[in-house]
Every structure is written in C-alpha cells, then in structure tokens.
Amino acid sequence: MILMSVIRGVKEFTGLDDAQLMIEVQQGSPVAFRVLVERYKKKAYYLALKLVGNPDDAYDLSQEAFIRVYNARKRYDSTHPFYAWFYTILRNLARNHLQKRSVRLEYAVRMSRIRKKNPKVSASPECIMQADEAKRAVWGALEKLQYEQREIIVLRHFEDMSYQEIADFLGIAVGSVMSRLYYARRKLRDLLGEEYGR
C-alpha cells in the first residue's frame, strides 16, 4: 500500500519541472526530492568525476551535493534555474575536496620520501575512460591545472556548454569566460609539452 502510494507519487511528480519540484521539496515532500535526485544523479556524478578525477570521490561528492540541496531547500529561489544553483553547491564541494586532497597529497609525498612509496590520490585514466596515449596525456595534464582552469575546460569541452551558459553558471562575463578558457588551454598545452608544439 505504502509502496503503491510512493510509486504513484513519483509518477505524479515526474511531469513537474525543477522549480516546481523544489517548491514541493520546500513544502516537505521527500518524493519530489527523490524525483529531483533521480533526474540529476548521473549528470551530477559525471560532472563531479571530471572535476575531481576519482570515481569514488565523485560518487560521494555528488550525493553530498544533493544532501546540501535538501538542507538548504528553504533558501532556493524558484525564479532561478535549479541546476545552476545545484552546480554552485557541487563546485564548492569539489573545490574544497581538491584543496584538502592537495594537502593530503603533500603529506603523502613527504611520507613517501621516508617510505619510498609512490603516492597516488587520483584514479588512473583507465579506471574512468577508454584511454589511449593521447587521452592519458591530456587527462594527466588536466589534473595538474588549477581548479578554475580545469573547471572551465570541463564545462566547455565535456559538458559542451556555450560561453553564455558558462558565464551564467560561474557568474562572470562572457569575455572573462573566453579569456579564462584561453589561459587554461595555454597552460594545458605547456603541460603537454613538445608534442603540442611546446
């Protein structure tokens, strides 16, 4: 009986758009929240994966972002797009995670000098994609970029967002998007070395 009502509830909410679902979530509907999670779970996971480069961390961060959405549901303004708001939460989590990871990595590097081990925090490209040598090299270089540079490449190259969409997402001007993209690509080329004309 309960199961049937949940299934009926899910079906009822599936037709609603994101803002309408969030209004339902604000009014305390867990079913609406579930529909929202089901709608964006894959997108959130793959975006997190491209930002942090590790499947386990991406899975965890994407779930954490949904939990933060639920906890902050009262602050959501339904006149703004839900996904942009969700992305702000996810990117802050990803950035904090990478900062903590770099601190952990520095510590691991220091310890590895003592233990003579090779520290590795990110997953190998083979774990997350079908990788040949060129893809491995580009992915490796991408992981060395600063967060903002990596993010702009991810949004343009992998999420295929337009300059305007990126500008809206990041809250910066279109000109700044193009400028940031140029410097990120240049840094990427520098990291890739001779084969890319450097």
Partner 1 sequence: MEDEKIQELMMKVVDGVASPEEEAALADAIKGSERYEGELRAFKKIREVTANMQFKELPDSYWTGYWRDVYRRTERAIAWIALSIGLMVVLGFMAYTGLSRFYSDPNVSMVLKIGVSAAVLGAVIMIGSITRERLFARKHERYEKEVER
Binding footprint of partner 1 on the chain (CB under 8 A): 30, 34, 37-38, 41-42, 45-46, 49-50, 55, 59, 63-64, 66-67, 70-71, 92, 95-96, 99, 127-131, 134-135, 138-139, 146-149, 153, 156-158, 162-163, 175, 178-183, 185-189, 192, 196-198
d(CA 98, CA 50): 12
CB of 115 to partner 1, least distance (A): 29
CB of 20 to partner 1, least distance (A): 19
Place of tokens 């909410």: 13
Nearer to partner 1, 111 or 190 (CB): 190
- Work out whether the CA dihedral 9, 11, 14, 16 comes out positive or negative: negative
Nearer to partner 1, 111 or 128 (CB): 128
CB of 64 to partner 1, least distance (A): 8
At 96, the amino acid letter reads N
Nearer to partner 1, 70 or 111 (CB): 70
Contact (CB, 8 A) for 182 and 161? no
CB of 30 to partner 1, least distance (A): 8
d(CA 64, CA 6): 24
Contact (CB, 8 A) for 119 and 98? no
d(CA 157, CA 166): 11
Nearer to partner 1, 101 or 189 (CB): 189
